[in-house]
């Protein structure tokens, strides 16, 4: 049960806008501009 919940949250995090912003900010060597999404 716990593993299923973890997977659901992990999958949601992988599709988040903030994840993409974090990767872009790292590549561009700038601080991320988080949106909470």
Please report the domains of the chain, with CATH numbers, ordered by start residue.
Answer: 1-36 (1.10.12.10)
Predicted local confidence at residue 1, as pLDDT: 82
Residues 25 and 32: beta-carbon distance below 8 Å: yes
pTM over cut 0.75: no
The per-residue pLDDT for range 2-34, each reduced to its tens digit, is 999 999 888 888 888 999 999 999 999 999 999
- Which residues have CB under 8 Å from 36's CB, separation 6+? 18
């Amino acid at each position: 049960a716990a593993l299923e919940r973890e997977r659901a949250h992990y999958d949601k995090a992988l599709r988040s806008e903030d994840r993409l912003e974090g990767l872009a900010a790292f590549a561009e060597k700038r601080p991320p501009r988080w949106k909470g999404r």
